[in-house]
Amino acid sequence: GNSVTQMEGPVTLSEEAFLTINCTYTATGYPSLFWYVQYPGEGLQLLLKATKADDKGSNKGFEATYRKETTSFHLEKGSVQVSDSAVYFCALSRRENGNQFYFGTGTSLTVIP
Amino acid sequence: DAGVIQSPRHEVTEMGQEVTLRCKPISGHDYLFWYRQTMMRGLELLIYFNNNVPIDDSGMPEDRFSAKMPNASFSTLKIQPSEPRDSAVYFCASSSLAGGYEQYFGPGTRLTVT
């Protein structure tokens, strides 16, 4: 079946530290991969996406590369800020499944000054 | 665009009462999804529609839950009767083929059943 496994949290980092949140997936065919971010009290917002192998999605200093050989889509940022504190969700979607999304459990990030 | 609109933003009700949550998707989107988020179970897909037709409702917890989409710009999720364990944040999301299938989420409705 289709599923996403992401790094357990919570993660606490100091400002300007390097961030990695691991995400691996299981899917047949060629899924699209996404990272969503949820700030406190808000809905999920699309952070970045990649639709085929070796694509790199990037936004607001965050990056993730679609690695088919390792079935991974790890989220990285070189220097985190306090404002990056949020919950991050990895997700996959396959058109063959009617555009249904499969979300990971979310990783809570807290950045301290 | 106004984005996905949900109402009410907060709902407090007593056990046994009927609750109706509302969603207006982004104009032109042909997929609509209802999710429930709790600390214990995380984000769960309840049901989704394509072109106003329910495609998969296997995530609906039980017969107390029902969802409708009478037209392309409006959907409801109804709980009758409500129970304390239904307390959660309920999200609506929409997407489209033209938009690359990424889902756009509304701000959510925080439901508290006492």
Q: What integer pLDDT is reported at residue B1 of this predicted model?
A: 64
pLDDT digit string, tens, across residues A31-47? 999 999 999 989 999 99
Task: List all residues 6 or more positions away from A36 whose beta carbon is below 8 Å from its beta carbon.
Answer: A44, A45, A46, A47, A88, A89, A91, A103, B105
Q: CB of B31 within 8 Å of any CB in chain A? A: yes
pLDDT digit string, tens, across residues A20-78? 999 999 998 889 999 999 999 899 999 999 999 999 999 999 999 999 999 999 999 99
Out of A35-44, A50-59, A96-105, B4-13, pick the least confident: A96-105
Contact assignment for A51 to B104 by CB distance below 8 Å: no
What is the nearest CA distance from B27 to chain A, expressed in angstroms?
18
- Tell me the C-alpha distance between A94 and B42, whole Å: 21
Residue contacts between A and B (CB atoms, under 8 Å): 51
Does residue A99 register a pLDDT over 80?
Answer: no
For an interface test with A, the pick among B34, B103, B109 (most A C-beta atoms closer than 10 Å) comes out as: B103
Does residue A8 register a pLDDT over 90?
Answer: no
DSSP track, A35-92: EEEE-TTS-EEEEEEE-STT-EEEETTEEEE-BTTTTB--EEESS--GGG-EEEEEEE
Contact assignment for B91 to A103 by CB distance below 8 Å: no
Mean pLDDT (whole number) for B35-42: 92
Q: What integer pLDDT is reported at residue A100 of this predicted model?
A: 82
Q: Could you give phi then psi for residue A21, rounded to 5 degrees?
A: -120, 120
Q: How confident is the model at residue A97 (pLDDT cuts 50, 70, 90)?
A: low
Contact assignment for A46 to B45 by CB distance below 8 Å: no
